[in-house]
Amino acid sequence: MNATISKLDEVKTGNWSGGTSPFKVEYGKIMMWLFLLSDAFTFTGFLVAYGAQRMFMQDTWPDPDVVFQSIPFITDTGAPLVFVGIMTFILIMSSVTMVLAVEAGHRNSKKEVVTWMILTIIGGLTFLGCQALEWTHLNHTGFWFGAIPDSYQGAQAMGATQFSSFFFAITGFHGFHVTVGITVNIIILLMTLSNVFERRGTYLMIEKVGLYWHFVDLVWVFVFTFFYLV
Amino acid sequence: MATDNISEAHLYAHKEADMTKQKIWKVFFYLLGLTALEFIIALGFVETGLVAKSAAVNVIYIILTLFKAFYIIAYFMHLKFEKFGMKVMLGLPITLLIYMIILVLIEGHYIGLHLYK
């Protein structure tokens, strides 16, 4: 009897019995990964709906090279992919500065973390600004949620309406994610500046925020391919 | 409770020294190269009319995109250096999604061919 009780009271140390983390990853980081997985499902849902509609209306779908061919302040026509190329570069760049901030965090180097975080935030804001310009331009040419330019008539109008609504919904949702990412980055920057992680002794928070930021970049890679290239 | 979390965080905080600055920039140039390749195909070949815009070109774009996604997830998000169980936990659902994507695209294509004809 006594032996059984002491057996029950024993501190469990096994991987799968609650003693240690089986993945050797801190709790908050695993939760961030799981959140990102569910977020990936959301974006997949959007993109799958987009893909199915596009396959359905293949013949009437507008050509992306015709829709996106402006560079704000420079030219309104004749430059497909250039502006979105710049946007993609900015987002990849800000992903690199983020991972450099994480790397600096591993060395507990507060100064470097602050520098890279500021650059990441600037990158994110620049991307959002570019997206605002892109939206404004498309809105001026006549595209909006459920609205299309008059140049699309008859069967063409059906594909164009679908395209327009999907474009604004998906890039809008992505832009919302970028906005949240920038906000969280700013909060983390302020926490770094006020020595919260210095006192805690670990910059693990930078990693968690970094995961989210890379995910935003990851989604853009897919949005870029399926809206602009394909 | 809070102290527990912090001590746990300490346990895992310093195991990631394997992602050095040099490696980060290397991955960045891979990503840049893959994106540049997509642009060369789009502007240099498809736009100039050397290659017709076709399903084959789209497959190349998607393969390049998946490579980019791999580099971001594996190196920037550090999944390559996590435990096998975690890779499976995150990778398996996404892999199953590919099956769903293929099914839905086939359905969409079928409806497009037959519904209004």
Q: Predicted ipTM?
A: 0.85
B62 part of contact set with chain A, CB < 8 Å: yes
Residues 72-101 of B with CB under 8 A from A: 72-73, 75-78, 82-83, 85-86, 89-90, 93-94, 97, 100-101
The whole-number mean pLDDT for each consecutive block of 10 residues of chain A, a chain of 230 residues, reads 64 72 85 94 94 88 84 79 90 94 92 96 96 92 89 86 93 96 96 93 92 95 91
SS (H, E, C) chain A: CHHHHHHHHCCCCCCCCCCCCCCCCCHHHHHHHHHHHHHHHHHHHHHHHHHHHHHHCHHHCCCHHHHCCCECCCECCCCCCHHHHHHHHHHHHHHHHHHHHHHHHHCCCHHHHHHHHHHHHHHHHHHHHHHHHHHHHHHHHCCECCECCCCCCCHHHHHHHHHHHHHHHHHHHHHHHHHHHHHHHHHHHHHHHCCHHHHHCCCHHHHHHHHHHHHHHHHHHHHHHHHHHC
- Tell me the CATH architecture of domain A36-229: Up-down Bundle (1.20)
CB contact under 8 A, A56 and B101: no
CA–CA distance, B112 with B116 (Å, rounded to integer): 7
Q: Which of A88, A95, A210 sits opposite B35 (nearest CB)?
A: A88
Q: What is the least distance, in Å, from the CA of B72 to any CA of chain A?
A: 7
Residue ranges of chain B with per-residue pLDDT less than 70? 1-18, 116-117
Q: Give the residue from chain B lying closest to A83, CA to CA.
A: B39
Residues in contact with B106: Cβ distance below 8 Å, sequence separation at least 6, in sequence order: none
Within 8 A of B100 by CB-CB distance, chain A residues are: 44, 48
B66 part of contact set with chain A, CB < 8 Å: no
CB contact under 8 A, B28 and A92: yes
Q: Is the dihedral of CA A170, A176, A180, A183 positive or negative?
A: positive
Which of B12, B32, B47 to probe by mutation at the A interface, max A CB count within 10 Å? B12
Q: Give the residue from chain B lying closest to A87, CA to CA.
A: B35
CB contact under 8 A, A23 and B24: no
CB contact under 8 A, A89 and B10: no
Q: What is the least distance, in Å, from the CA of A145 to any CA of chain B?
A: 22
Q: Which of A44, A102, A225 sits opposite B97 (nearest CB)?
A: A44
What are the residue ranges spanned by the domains of chain B? 15-81, 83-117
Residues 31-50 of B with CB under 8 A from A: 31-32, 35, 38-39, 42-43, 47
Q: Which of B8, B78, B85 sits opposite A23 (nearest CB)?
A: B85
State the helix-helix crossing angle for B21-39 and A82-106, rounded to 10 degrees.
170
